Amino acid sequence: METHQHDGTHHHGHEHSDMQALLKKELAHPFNQDPNKWLDAHEQEWQECFDCSAEPVTEVTVVCIDERMVLEAKTQSGKRVLRVAGSGILWENDEFVDAVAAYIALLAHGRPLSAVKVRISSHGDKKGRGCGAAGIKYGKEVNPDQCARDEQRDAIVVGLKARGIDADFIGDKTMRQEPHTAIGAAIDCAGGRLQRLPGLNIFVISMPDNIEYAVKEAMLSLEIATGHAYGDTLKQFTFVIFDDPARPEVARQITAALREQTKEYAVKGMDIRFVTREAPTAK
């Protein structure tokens, strides 16, 4: 993965006038008070956010990790949601296309690759709060969001179609019109079965079997929170790792890498929390 420095030139000039009030609100949420207690109390709710049906997967939607993305109200059988920064634009195009193609081949279970529809989304708005990943990659362009959309439509979708996959660019997904306020991130190690997280305002990362990128994008969520969101005033951040019981080594590797890479934050006195929960088993 290319290393992109966040230059802060995109989408961050319209920040909320009182981020400290928003931070106080986040810190007061029971999850941020005690994530273990909250997850235990709401176990049935978050388990119902995973598709555990035995139905063949027919659709995969690629959505940004941004916590402001508005997701479906209910879990839908036979669908997967991949949460990737900028819907994949921070990957090398061929690498992302290859990863998604390999993922679709696994989901197809011997069916033609075209049996699984892939929907690539974007996000952005006219008020200047668009895709932060677009700002990282295209911050020097006049319209970073449009550059991201062009790449998603003309490079990622075209690349997937060239591999025999029924892919489509669906444009902007709905996003809440507010600054970044999340102080936590969920990592779905269960292959995109996590479709939503009711009651939690956190980033969500779900990668097609690529631990390196999952870690980099989880770290990006921390960098956003401690960067243009709250800066040095943020003193805690929580990673929730949803372990796939069929592949427990994935969660172990991601957790170990994140513990190592967050040491610099911990040294500065930040409370970096790690909470692991086992995703419900697919039927």
Which of 80, 154, 65 has the alpha carbon at shortest distance from 117?
80
Around 217, how many Cα atoms within 13 Å sit in the side-chain half-sphere? 31
- What pLDDT, on a 0 to 100 scale, did the predictor assign at position 3? 34
How much of the chain, in percent, has pLDDT values that exceed 70? 92
Specify the 3-state DSSP secondary structure of 142.
coil
Task: Note whether 184 and 200 are within 8 A (CB).
Answer: yes
Q: Would 2 be classed as within a structural domain?
A: no
* Residue range 264-276, pLDDT digits in tens: 999 999 999 999 9
Q: Would 271 be classed as within a structural domain?
A: yes
pLDDT grade for 228, boundaries at 50, 70 and 90: confident
Tell me which of 127 and 257 has the higher pLDDT.
Answer: 257
* Residue range 122-153, pLDDT digits in tens: 987 655 567 888 888 998 999 999 999 999 99
- What pLDDT, on a 0 to 100 scale, did the predictor assign at position 131? 81
Instruction: Examine the pLDDT at 6 and tell me if it is beyond 50.
Output: no
- What pLDDT, on a 0 to 100 scale, did the predictor assign at position 126? 56
Q: Would 69 be classed as within a structural domain?
A: yes
Helices 248-261, 211-224: crossing angle, 10 deg rounding = 40
Distance CA 210, CA 207 (A): 6
Lookup: tokens for 89: 């634009």
Q: Would 283 be classed as within a structural domain?
A: no
* Residue range 52-96, pLDDT digits in tens: 999 999 999 999 999 988 888 899 999 999 999 999 999 986 999
Task: Note whether 31 and 200 are within 8 A (CB).
Answer: yes
Q: Which residues of 63-100 are buried (b: 16+ CB within 10 A; e: fewer)?
A: bbbbbbbebeeebbeebbbbbbbbbbbbbebeebbbbb
* Residue range 189-212, pLDDT digits in tens: 999 999 999 889 999 999 878 999
User: What's the mean pLDDT when you consider all of the chain?
Assistant: 90
Distance CA 56, CA 95 (A): 26
Q: Would 230 be classed as within a structural domain?
A: yes
pLDDT grade for 279, boundaries at 50, 70 and 90: very high
- What pLDDT, on a 0 to 100 scale, did the predictor assign at position 5? 37
Lookup: tokens for 227: 């960067």
- Number of structural domains (the chain) is 1
CA angle (160, 90, 251) in 5-degree steps? 90
CA angle (107, 108, 111) in 5-degree steps? 170
Amino acid identity for residue 30 in this structure: P
Dihedral angle computed from the Cα positions of residues 112, 116, 119 and 120, in that order, rounded to the nearest 10 degrees: -60
Structural domain of residue 79, as residue ranges?
19-278
- What pLDDT, on a 0 to 100 scale, did the predictor assign at position 4? 37
Specify the 3-state DSSP secondary structure of 96.
helix
Task: Give the residue carrying structure tokens 């390999």.
Answer: 102
Write the CB contacts of 170 (distance below 8 Å, at least 6 apart in sequence): 61, 119, 120, 121
Instruction: Examine the pLDDT at 13 and tell me if it is beyond 50.
Output: no
Q: Would 41 be classed as within a structural domain?
A: yes
Task: Give the residue carrying structure tokens 């193609």.
Answer: 101
Lookup: tokens for 15: 């920040």
- What pLDDT, on a 0 to 100 scale, did the predictor assign at position 71? 82
* Residue range 16-61, pLDDT digits in tens: 568 899 999 999 999 999 999 999 999 999 999 999 999 999 999 9
Distance CA 259, CA 37 (A): 22
Q: Would 11 be classed as within a structural domain?
A: no
- What pLDDT, on a 0 to 100 scale, did the predictor assign at position 7? 37
Task: Note whether 193 and 46 are within 8 A (CB).
Answer: no
Q: Would 14 be classed as within a structural domain?
A: no
Which of 263, 248, 236 has the alpha carbon at shortest distance from 32?
236
DSSP single-letter state for residue 174: P
Instruction: Examine the pLDDT at 260 and tell me if it is beyond 80.
Output: yes
Distance CA 48, CA 51 (A): 7
Distance CA 188, CA 104 (A): 17
Amino acid identity for residue 189 in this structure: C
Indicate the pTM of the whole model. Answer: 0.91
* Residue range 173-182, pLDDT digits in tens: 888 888 889 9
